[in-house]
Amino acid sequence: LSMHIIIYRIQRDVEELVAQGNMRPHLGVVLVGDDPASRTYVRNKTRAASILGSDMIVRPSSVSQEELLELIDKMNRDWRVSGLLVQLPLPAGLKCTAFE
């Protein structure tokens, strides 16, 4: 299937769900640092997810573990966010196991 057909089907399905009284899906994406490959990958992901609703939050590689955990906790508690993605790899000094 072409990407346009897939996007059309997803849009149609989402609109049907919303018309039935369900919430519109919303993806929260967290990118830490300035890794060019990660930035491109996340940009493409959020572009594709924009039909559902998405936010890309970028933090500098100097962000502390505590600040990152607070951001993730805040997004987890946001009723509008139905999915959360933390882009890996994280910069040196940040542990992804802290999110488990």
Is pLDDT at 98 greater than 80 in this prediction? no
- For 24-99, CATH gives 3.40.50.10860
pTM score over 0.75: yes
Identify whether the C-beta of residue 51 lies closer than 8 Å to the C-beta of residue 3: no
Give CA angle at 50 (38, 58), nearest 5°. Answer: 40
Q: How confident is the model at residue 99 (pLDDT cuts 50, 70, 90)?
A: low
Residue 82: both structure tokens together: 């139905």
pLDDT tens-digit map of 36-49: 998 888 888 877 77
